[in-house]
Chains A and B, each alone.
Chain A
Amino acid sequence: MFNVKKMLSVTALGLLMMISNTAVAVADISEAKGPGDVNVLLYYSAGGAYGRMSQNVIAPILGDDFKEVMNIRGCAKMAEFAKNTDEKMFGLWDWFSTNDPLEDGSKNPCFVEEENIVSISHSFPYRACFVTGTEGRSLDDFVNGKDIKIGILAINGVYKAQSTAVVQSVNPNAKIIPYKGSKDYIPGLRSGEVDYIYSPQMREWMTCVASTDARETQFTNFSTLSDSELADKNTYPAFVAFNMDMDEAFELAQKIQQSPEMATFLASTGHNLPEQLSLSRDEQLKFMEEWYLSIKASQK
């Protein structure tokens, strides 16, 4: 028999689930929409550092030009979308890793052309750190210690090659342990399975003794400990733009870098503004290319 009460209950429950689901689907950072025509591209997890920078720094600085944050899963799909759309797209890109060929030598599906790279967005330096108060740990031990274990950030081959080149040139006897991310190597350091980390992240309970960023004068610069070309180089993500005038995009990049929002973001992540801020776009692109070639050369 047709049961009205049951039908209503089923409808109410179905609606509750649908509304909840739809609310979640449209919420998140993509919820914020503006009147403009520039989309902020994001292929990373919305909760990560790049996601927060896209949402809390780039989107507000765009002001009336902001349209929406387009969070597309994966750099390959984002690259394909950005290359085929007529929409204006601006955002962060890990160009050095996404342009790296795959293991079989084929072209990386996330590859972006140089014409789409606007400038360096920010830089993150690497620091040698250990757990404060651990006996025997010091800069001297990092450089000369036998059989010490050093954890490095190795999200992909480029990160791994850059870190390995510097650490090996500083201490050829050290054992290098590659970690996929900070969620792994920070606990690794804390547990004592590695003696040091060579990474961008710092914590209250760590003592850091050396840095790749010469502007961090509180630390010894790695270039004084190593003859590697990469010892005084940070890692340099880029701003990219599609369907935008590059002069306009470069101006936008500079506006973002000079904003208080960017300063707050950098302070919360331990990243820095790039030291190449005063360079022109062409000069920045040249620097990036040389830096990338240095990493590739270190792999040979």
Chain B
Amino acid sequence: MLEIVFAFFMGMGLGIISGIVPGVNVFVSVLLVFPILLSWEPTSIMFMYITLASVHQYFGSVSATVFAIPGTSTSLPALHEGHAMFQDGRGGQAIMTSAIGSFFASFFAIVLIQIMLPYLTVFYQIFNTHVQVVLLTIAAMTIVIFSSNKFWISLLLWITGNVLAMVGIHEYYGGITFMTFGITELYTGIDLLPVLIALYVFPVFLRASKFGGRIHFEGVSMDGYLKAVKNMYTQMKMTLLRSSMIGAVLGFVPGISWGLSTLIAYNTELGIRKRNKLYNKNGDVNCLVAAESSNNASVYTSMVPMLFAGIPITASTALIYDVFVYKNINPTLSFFESLYGITLIGFGISSLVGLFIAGKYVNFLKFLSGVDIRKFYIVLFSLLVIICYTVAQKYYAGVENLIMLACLMPFGYLLRNYNTMPLVYGFVLQDIFIESVYRLYFFY
């Protein structure tokens, strides 16, 4: 019992830290406590993991909305809409609606898993390379088509992201070297963090700073939450169901589950809203809910293949799987069923406590109201530079991350009037996209 309580607090703590600090995702958090997990019971391990994943989502959403700090690349769509709402003085609404949507989608995914338990093997078909290539192509096309830039600009940005991601040595393709210029530091490629900061966050800050002004942030309240629930029930039922379903199903896609499902759910909603001329350029709440809901639903479904068939499809579930194997536990259907109860309890408690603490944190941030927006972004950017260095310094790569950041920032400045999300997604998905297409070639 004591172990489970400890697991809960550890999951909470790690969830808060990983939600706030960019570059520290769920995988890194699990890695931090890996040696401790080796001595725990499976129920405690799962309790910690569920709590961590759940709390991470709530705090990540706050960071993305208020500070425009992307916890991971999967939070980009939420950041794009949420931070725009924050700039528009609707930050509280963005946070509360996201939280309710996330809770609903997580619950939806857990119930769906329970209902589908006897038929889960059907989802194995999604592990197929052909399906992956189709989904990745859809994701690439929709982000280029629905982005707020002109089509050819988005296409160029997407291609640029791909080119940046190709820098390095590619052992899988027989040791091909691309744009390394003989620089040792470039052999392993460019890290995501400088790309995110220089080419996505920096232009966002520049755009917002252009007009100046002061921050208006009202925080969250019980009334606000109730209003959000009512509003979502009357106006967002389809958005919620659609994005939760997309997240729950695409959560099974190996390697890219969270990122891909978030992007496709977001782009689907974006397309629908634009077609119906309902899209709000100053931050669209439906698109925000779509991104957050699918992200949360996929977090839960991505655990399923690992828990009942020993097939980890994300980096963090691979770590949890390694712990189980180390303890001579072979995940099977009955093993999964034995953990289902604890998953449900973990989800319930961590969601409620996570929501409460995140709410307190959000209201603490009300002091930002009235702060000069330019000063706000200068402080944030300085913080991001420090984080860019310290996170990479774990691998003795802090200085090279800073150099890369400095090299990319002029381009971020030039791109300040464009939505650079196609570039970042081109960068993030390039590896798995090319790899899947390359593998597909061998089937024919």
Contact = CB atoms under 8 A, between A and B. Distances in A.
**Are A and B genuine complex partners?**
yes
Interface of A: 5-6, 9-10, 13-14, 16-18, 20-30, 46-47, 49, 52, 55-56, 70-74, 76-77, 80-81, 97, 100-104, 106, 108-109, 149, 154-157, 175-180, 183-184, 186-188, 190-193, 203-205, 264, 267-269
B241 interface: no
Given A13-B365, A24-B24, A52 B394 contact: no
Contacts of A157: 171, 174-175
Interface stretch (B47-55, B119-127, B224-232): B119-127
Instruction: Name the residue in A25, A175, A179 with the highest tally of chain B Cβ atoms < 10 Å from its Cβ.
Output: A25
A20 B20 contact: yes
B254 A21 contact: no
**Binding site secondary structure of chain A:** helix
Given A9-B364, A52-B322, A102-B177, A184 B20 contact: no
B17 A23 contact: yes
A29 B38 CA distance: 14
Given A72-B397, A203-B311, 19 more contacts: A10-B367, A14-B379, A17-B383, A47-B319, A47-B322, A74-B187, A74-B188, A76-B169, A77-B188, A77-B397, A81-B396, A106-B177, A155-B172, A177-B442, A184-B255, A187-B313, A190-B127, A204-B310, A268-B326
Interface stretch (B105-113, B205-213, B280-288, B384-392): B384-392
Interface string B168-180: 0101111111000
Contacts of A154: 172
B439 A187 contact: no
Given A20-B20, A176-B442, A187 B127 contact: yes
A279 to B, nearest CB: 29
A47 B315 contact: yes
Nearest to A265: B326
Contacts of B60: none
Contacts of B16: 20
A150 to B, nearest CB: 11
Interface of B: 16-17, 20-21, 24, 27-28, 30-32, 34-35, 38, 124-130, 169, 171-177, 184-185, 187-188, 254-255, 305, 309-313, 315, 318-319, 322, 325-326, 328, 330-332, 364-365, 367, 370-371, 379, 383, 386-387, 390-397, 435, 439, 442-443
Given A6-B367, A47-B318, A156-B175, A175 B27 contact: no
B394 A192 contact: no
A154 B38 CA distance: 30
B312 A268 contact: no
Nearest to A187: B127
B417 to A, nearest CB: 29
Instruction: Name the residue in A30, A74, A80, A187 with the highest tally of chain B Cβ atoms < 10 Å from its Cβ.
Output: A187
A179 B31 contact: no
Contacts of A192: 124-125, 128
A269 B395 CA distance: 25
Contacts of A108: 175
A177 B171 contact: no
A220 to B, nearest CB: 24
B127 A103 contact: no
A201 to B, nearest CB: 9
B310 A203 contact: yes
A204 B175 contact: no
Contacts of A10: 367, 379
A175 B129 CA distance: 15
Which 7 A-B pairs rank lowest in CB-CB distance, beginning with the nearest? A74-B188, A187-B127, A156-B171, A191-B127, A73-B395, A9-B367, A102-B175
A102 B130 contact: no
16 contacts: A6-B367, A10-B379, A16-B20, A21-B21, A21-B390, A25-B390, A72-B396, A73-B188, A108-B175, A154-B172, A156-B175, A177-B439, A178-B172, A184-B255, A192-B128, A204-B331
Contact of B32 (A28, A49, A81, A193): A28
Contact of B17 (A20, A29, A106, A178): A20
Contact of B27 (A18, A26, A47): A47
Nearest to B443: A177
